[in-house]
Structure 1
Amino acid sequence: MKARYQFRFYPTDQQQQLLAQLFGCVRVVWNDALAICKQKELLPNNNDLQKLVITQAKKTVEREWLSEVSNIPLQQSVVDLGVAYKNFFDSLKGKRKGKKLGRPKFKKKTNQQSARFRIGGFSIKDGQVYLAKIGNVKPIWSRELPSSPTSVTVIKDCEDRYFLSFVVEVQPVHIDAKNQSIGIDLGIKTFAVMSNGEKAESPNYSKLDRKIRKLQIHLARQPKDSKRRNKTRIQIAKLHNQIADTRKDFLHKLATIVVSENQAIILEDLNVSGMVKNRKLSFAISLQGWREFRTLCEAKSQKFGRVFHVISRWEPTSQVCSECGYKWGKLDLKVRSVQCLNCGTEHDRDGNAAKNINKVGMGNRHDSKWTQRNCQTTLVAESIEASRITEASAL
């Protein structure tokens, strides 16, 4: 299986100018190829596009500066455009899983910049990485590469940070699991509640969010293309990166612990795109990174040889008692604790859902129809019932 290893590096002033020139050329080639594709009824193949936007363009006065950078990232930019169109058409035909993808868009100078080097355009020697027509750069090696990389992508984010992203081939690692299976119910304040009773609290992003809001007010009042506006934009990008880095670090550590200790990991298929339509909870849900956590668990499960399973979103995991299988009906979001009317067991809402997720994923769910013969099921649990419902301030 393939994996990415990303390392930060600090280029010299001269290398920064060369990289800025390279990013500009890659961006122009992408935009020129995309403009041609939009004009054609049938998409041209990659070879024809490369002749038009690279080979023939270098002979013109307007694009003669394309010859000053390496040809490999320019060709790779056209190839990436072809992949983007293929993914778009596969998404339209239903061949690609996940959310529907849109058409490829033109690249902007203010967004994240990248350029990809294939084998022949880079080499690694004595801890330094040589990039064609850029020179030697020395990344901060936080760990060794497991194998020789097949490609390297130079990335410059909105905060003007530089990274090298290597694609390498890794071998699965076998580690004995402590537990047979675990079900995970995802939330907001408590990010994950496990079926074994453990909980993982979500990081607090409120301070960084308040700073971002204040800076965005200043940004809206500053004139465009001014130095102060550009300075404020970089400050906002730094705060956004702090939130993203904090979330990524938290999700990676949690996913590693969960996958390494359990043989089977079971999650619920959440309709995140529908949940964010709730204007009161949309921002809090978007900050959590539920989909990213699911992707990390799935990737790490392949690496450690684990079983990863996602149950249907229509399973009533919050409506069924995990002990006896009695179905009490729908619960409002403010209901955080409920006592079963059949067996008398008091459950935490999220803990009960996690246990049900684990049982459904392992195929050991109780037969709720049998338990409902002697007990009448209510549609919505009321606070006046004997279910002893308590409230909490967050999910």
Structure 2
Amino acid sequence: MSHTTPVCASGAIALEDRYGAHNYHPLPVVLVRGEGVHLWDEQGRRYLDMMSAYSAVSFGHSRPELVQVLVEQAQRLAITSRAYHTDRLGPFLEKLCQLTGLDRALPMNTGAEAVETAIKAVRKWGYKVKGVAEGQAQIIVPAGNFAGRTTTIVGFSSEAQYRDGFGPFAPGFVQVPYGDIAALEHAITPQTVAFFVEPIQGEAGIIVPPAGYLRAARELCDRHRVLLVCDEVQTGLGRTGRILACHHEGVQPDAVTLGKALGGGLLPVSAFVARADVMAQFTPGDHGSTFGGNPLSAAVGLAALQLLERERLSEQAERQGQYLRERLLALGHPAITDVRGKGLLVGVEIDRRYASARAVCEALMHEGVLSKDTHDTVVRLAPPLVVTAAQIDEAVEALQRALRSVEPERRLAA
């Protein structure tokens, strides 16, 4: 048996820096272990995880029953490709359809793959069912969207950095302001096949649209025979206090994309779930994935969905999320200009004149809490759904100390 010699913190960071692409700017901490809502670095210091890998670790790190399913299935059968049937895939797909209220599911691996699958499905539906002329299908997307990093997806992003140097981009996407129902109505044409929307925009800074926006979008899509596709990769599976974030407004989409939490915090699992007539556009040879729907992923995904239901984690997220927002607002700190979100997906807007969100996250790290900034102005707080009120108190108190510690930076900037 071979043993890997542990690498010290500075050495581990240096190795990444030397041999890795510089496409991330991580906080300067080297993590070696996780359990529940906590992470440990190589020095044995414990941190409260208030990021949960962008919702991928919704059930907590190394959740014992999910690890057990992973190990048992890996020892039995892990990968076969979709060239054959397995006993694990059917039950997983059935549970996905039951929870979403949709008819059929197509499993993939990453959230971006689920979105790419959705793009192919709605375009073909537009041509074969709606009767749009070949090559003319249009998909409407809101500004501020984030759905992944493939060239097609960054092509419909409004973020300049995501696009810079990666074109030419695929045509067929029309951008409208997020939350603006009049702009959406104006953008719809006979060539429009779908509206792709995040019920809450995550990467944009935890942006919650006006009340009634999704419901009005649903009505518009029905009126114009346009598919409503909700990107629930980050917001889905209990994160916002509902199984799907669109359920806050009683909206049933025509299709959803799921990922992140679907893998139980153990491996990448995603899915495109849709109405039968939308999914019927795929025939053998149209689309696929060597790893998508493998028995290991299906077993863990099913166990994760069962855990979500059994422990009523959506209700837990609703309750604890409200408590988190109340505690943050009660701080009354001048650096905090806004607290927004639903469930345990919360954004804390930081006054840039006071400090950068990155500086606040670094200060939080020194206080034993891990989070990540977005767009240099927002601190994300999205812990595992199993977080307790006492742990939320710990995080908020750490944030208060972190804000106090960056005050000298503000005075120097002044």
Rg comparison, structure with higher value = 1
Give the TM-score normalised by structure 2: 0.26
Structure with more contact order per residue of length (Cα contacts < 8 Å, sep ≥ 6)? 2
